[in-house]
């Protein structure tokens, strides 16, 4: 982004207050914003008391060596004890922790007592395999309960886990193992995806061959397919399931490393984001309770994320389990065996809180309203969204078709780096606007600034920053403090040699509307510069999605001789739309005019490509960088984090035939 500010072109006036009953019984009321503003650290200290500490902390925050924060200094706790043991000790051992649904339709019901047994057994096995506090363990598993068990077993013995998406390549897995110098890999023979077994073990075998730090490989049997076997391999069922179920959790220091999670970003090698113990668990537990208004006695919660994404860490494992929630965990894809799988699961388990991603919501829009309409979704009371800006039309569709038009939608902004939700409506307090993440949570200080770190006025756009440290913030990039400083702290404030305030640069564009609500506008790197105007990809995409024929879109700025860059849009039509011949050409014209009408002529796309799919990461984020390569007719850059590589071949072929 080259200019001082980002254009604000999209206007949205719809607003939805919380249902009365929900507001009256909400876990968090409006007064908490003031309470936190009056004394932020006291507020966080109060939230930390949600957890069971073996030793109380002496000081809430040590910010004496910024930007290296320490939270709850001197405190000690065990994360697994907090997520499992204490619920059993409180008499909730028989409560269901996980309703697991395998893709082929097999199911498992896991109570907190079952979880305690498995986590203890796994902790004993890890110890026997020579893994101790501070050692790193790579986890490369499908969405099976053992993934959560493996993470908790590491936490229990103080080993630092590094979860890698099941299905990432040999190269992605081996570079992550090497960067963290991991001792053990926990994997499976495979998992089920799209109706077939999908092998994992061969990838691990190849990776381990180039990773001498790995001493053992623990293998869960999931698909039962044949696997090659080496002398490092141990079956999970022959070790963990035979181990003693007695294990006493030792407390660890509040700043003990809990996990590393790699984010790929747009350039350079993946960054190992490091999270620690007390602050991370405090904020994941607090936000899961506040943002989803969790009532652990009655709610059934379902987060559709993969465990390989930070959302799976914070909102499948640590947040919900620390709160004693009952949740659904699903192994497979949303279209197997049919496109109704999600709604069938919601209906079957009477899910009351659903947390998913805009990419899935837009896919469901594309598939058609009649699919969810065929199920009883009346159990749902709160809907969440995470991962990308949610276009206003997708937000409305979600609320109307999934949330029977009276369910709050919480659009939660956060990052791997922030560890937990930072900006979000509170479902019992906030009158939400479709497409806006609204305001920072109590205790969080977010701002939208221009390139001199001045707050933009209401109605203005710029960069999203965080002005105060928060409990679940990343502590550094694993093994690379300098890159930590350069990436997040050297853009603004003290880290950039200006003033003495340390300002965290999130890398996202944002605007603040006339009421002060925050709207996320996509990655700053993706902002388009059209005739001297900074235009966000998000606003143009939202304008396209507001056309009744469009389900999903991605726009990029492609080099243009007259305007510097011009907008090229890739559009997925809704299922019932005719795109053949003349109808397709007419749609193309209509869409370009529609955007110009909605946002002004400056935002009119130069070209629109109708496509069947868009390139996405495993966590469902659109990879605009690859579309830009196509739009500028270059060969494709790094495709290793792409969910489905065939998609790019189709799009490139379409572009070639498009003159
Ligand atoms: C949790 C997660 C972080 C980036 C972030 C932003 C985008 C996430 C969003 C959102 C708009 C939201 N993002 N949530 N943008 N509205 N509600 O996604 O972490 O995978 O590290 O990605 O995702 O661009 O900076 P991560």
**Residue having the nearest C-alpha atom to atom 4 of ligand 1:** 415
Model pLDDT, residue 216: 98
pLDDT in tens, 564-621: 999 999 999 998 899 989 999 999 999 999 999 999 999 999 999 999 999 999 899 9
**CA 173 – ligand 1 centroid, Å:** 23
Cβ of 165 less than 6 Å from ligand 1: no
Query: Please, are residues 344 and 194 in contact by the beta-carbon 8 Å criterion?
Result: no
Q: Does the structure show a pLDDT above 80 at 442?
A: yes
Closest residue by Cα to residue 63 from 507, 422, 504 = 504
Cβ of 389 less than 6 Å from ligand 1: yes
Model pLDDT, residue 541: 97
Helices assigned H by DSSP within 216-367: 236-239, 278-291, 310-312, 319-322, 341-349, 358-367
Identify the residue whose tokens are 């960069």. 463
Cβ of 306 less than 6 Å from ligand 1: no
**Residue having the nearest C-alpha atom to atom 11 of ligand 1:** 389
Strands (E) in 210-334, as ranges, are: 216-220, 233-235, 252-253, 257-263, 271-276, 300-303, 326-330
* Mean of the per-residue pLDDT values of the chain: 96
Model pLDDT, residue 659: 47
**CA 21 – ligand 1 centroid, Å:** 30
* CA 635 to each of CA 18, 266, 631, 639: distance values in angstroms, whole numbers, following the listed order: 49, 16, 10, 11
Q: Does the structure show a pLDDT above 70 at 265?
A: no
Which two structure tokens, joined as six digits, stand for 82?
A: 């907090």
pLDDT in tens, 161-210: 999 999 899 999 999 999 999 999 999 999 999 999 999 999 999 999 99
Q: What is the rounded CA–CA span in Å between residue 387 and residue 569?
A: 20
Identify the residue whose tokens are 């939202």. 542
Task: Indicate which atom in ligand 1 lies nearest the CA of residue 506.
Answer: 25
Model pLDDT, residue 31: 98
Q: What is the rounded CA–CA span in Å between residue 149 and residue 97?
A: 12
Query: Please, are residues 304 and 355 in contact by the beta-carbon 8 Å criterion?
Result: yes
Strands (E) in 386-484, as ranges, are: 409-411, 446-449, 461-466, 476-477
Q: Does the structure show a pLDDT above 70 at 658?
A: no
- Give the residue-averaged pLDDT of 476-505: 97
Model pLDDT, residue 650: 80
Q: What is the rounded CA–CA span in Å between residue 49 and residue 65?
A: 25
Residues 6+ apart with CB under 8 A from 536: 6, 7, 461, 509, 521, 522, 526, 527, 528
If 0-12 CB within 10 Å is exposed, 13-18 middle and 19+ buried, where does residue 101 land? Answer: buried
Helices (H) and strands (E) in the chain, counts: 22, 30
- Main-chain phi, psi angles of 306, to 5 degrees: -90, 150
Query: Please, are residues 77 and 52 in contact by the beta-carbon 8 Å criterion?
Result: yes
Q: What is the rounded CA–CA span in Å between residue 236 and residue 224?
A: 13
Measured from the Cβ of residue 580, the count of other Cβ atoms closer than 10 Å reads 7
Q: Mean pLDDT lowest for which of 304-318, 410-424, 644-658?
A: 644-658
Cβ of 411 less than 6 Å from ligand 1: yes
**CA 415 – ligand 1 centroid, Å:** 5
Cβ of 416 less than 6 Å from ligand 1: yes
Residues 6+ apart with CB under 8 A from 632: 558, 559
**CA 446 – ligand 1 centroid, Å:** 15
**Residue having the nearest C-alpha atom to atom 16 of ligand 1:** 389
Q: What is the rounded CA–CA span in Å between residue 591 and residue 599?
A: 12
Give percent of the chain above pLDDT 90. 92
Model pLDDT, residue 565: 95
pLDDT in tens, 216-242: 999 999 999 999 999 999 999 999 999
pLDDT band at 248 (very low <50, low <70, confident <90, very high): very high
Annotated binding-site residues for ATP read 387-389, 411-416, 508, 523
Cβ of 122 less than 6 Å from ligand 1: no
**DSSP 3-state of 329:** strand
């Amino acid at each position: 982004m080259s200019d001082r500010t980002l254009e604000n072109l999209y206007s949205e006036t719809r607003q939805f207050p919380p249902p009365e009953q929900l507001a009256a019984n909400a876990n968090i009321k409006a007064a908490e914003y003031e309470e936190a503003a009056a004394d932020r650290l006291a507020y966080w200290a109060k939230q930390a008391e949600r957890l069971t500490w073996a030793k109380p902390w002496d000081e809430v925050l040590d910010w004496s060596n910024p930007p290296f924060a320490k939270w709850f200094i001197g405190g000690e706790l065990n994360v697994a004890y907090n997520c499992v043991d204490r619920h059993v000790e409180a008499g909730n051992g028989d409560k269901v922790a996980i309703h697991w649904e395998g893709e082929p339709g097999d199911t498992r019901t896991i109570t907190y007592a079952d979880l305690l047994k498995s986590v203890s057994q796994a902790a004993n096995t890890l110890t026997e395999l020579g893994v101790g506090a501070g050692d790193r363990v790579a986890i490369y598993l499908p969405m099976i309960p053992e993934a959560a068990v493996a993470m908790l077993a590491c936490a229990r013995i103080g080993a630092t886990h590094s979860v890698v998406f099941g299905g990432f390549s040999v190269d992605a897995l081996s570079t992550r193992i090497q960067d963290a110098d991991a001792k053990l890999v926990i994997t499976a023979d495979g998992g089920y995806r799209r109706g077939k077994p999908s092998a994992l073990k061969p990838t691990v075998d190849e990776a381990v061959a180039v990773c001498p730090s790995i001493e053992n490989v623990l293998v869960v049997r999931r698909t039962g397919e044949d696997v090659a076997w080496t002398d490092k391999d141990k079956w999970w069922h022959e070790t963990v399931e035979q181990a003693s179920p007695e294990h006493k959790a030792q407390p660890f220091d509040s700043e003990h490393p809990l996990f590393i999670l790699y984010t790929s970003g747009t350039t350079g090698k993946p960054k190992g984001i490091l999270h620690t113990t007390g602050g991370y668990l405090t904020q994941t537990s607090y936000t899961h309770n506040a943002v989803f208004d969790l009532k652990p006695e009655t709610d059934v919660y379902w987060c559709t994320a993969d465990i390989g994404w930070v959302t799976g860490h914070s909102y499948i494992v640590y947040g919900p389990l620390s709160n004693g929630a009952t949740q659904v965990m699903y192994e497979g894809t949303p279209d197997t065996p049919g496109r109704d799988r999600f709604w069938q699961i919601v209906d079957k388990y009477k899910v009351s809180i659903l947390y998913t991603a805009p990419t899935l919501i837009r896919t469901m829009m594309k598939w058609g309203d009649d699919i969810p309409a065929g199920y009883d979704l009346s159990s749902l009371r709160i809907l969440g969204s995470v991962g990308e800006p949610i276009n206003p039309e997708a937000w409305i569709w979600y609320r109307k078709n999934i949330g029977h038009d009276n369910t709050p939608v919480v659009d939660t902004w956060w990052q791997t780096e922030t560890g937990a939700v930072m900006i979000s409506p509170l479902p019992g307090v906030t009158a939400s606007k479709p497409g806006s993440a609204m305001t920072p949570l109590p205790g969080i200080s977010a701002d939208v600034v221009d390139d001199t770190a001045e707050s933009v006025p209401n109605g203005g756009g710029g960069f999203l920053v965080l002005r105060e440290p928060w409990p679940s913030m990343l502590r550094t990039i694993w093994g690379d403090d300098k890159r930590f400083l350069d990436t997040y702290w050297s853009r603004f404030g003290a880290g950039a040699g200006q003033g003495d305030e340390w300002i965290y640069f999130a890398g996202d564009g944002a605007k603040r509307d006339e009421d002060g609500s925050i709207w996320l506008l996509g990655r700053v790197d993706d902002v388009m510069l059209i005739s001297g105007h900074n235009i966000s990809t998000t606003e143009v995409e939202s304008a396209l999605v507001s056309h009744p024929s469009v389900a999903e879109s991605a726009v990029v700025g492609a080099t243009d001789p007259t305007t510097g860059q011009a907008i090229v849009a890739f559009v997925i039509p809704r299922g019932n739309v005719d795109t053949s011949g003349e109808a397709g050409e007419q749609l193309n014209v209509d869409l370009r005019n529609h955007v110009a009408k909605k946002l002004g002529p400056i935002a009119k796309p130069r070209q629109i490509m109708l496509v069947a799919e868009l390139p996405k990461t495993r966590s469902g984020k659109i990879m605009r960088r690859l579309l830009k390569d196509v739009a500028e007719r270059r060969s494709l850059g790094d495709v290793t984090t792409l969910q489905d590589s065939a998609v790019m071949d189709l799009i490139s072929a379409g572009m070639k035939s498009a003159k």
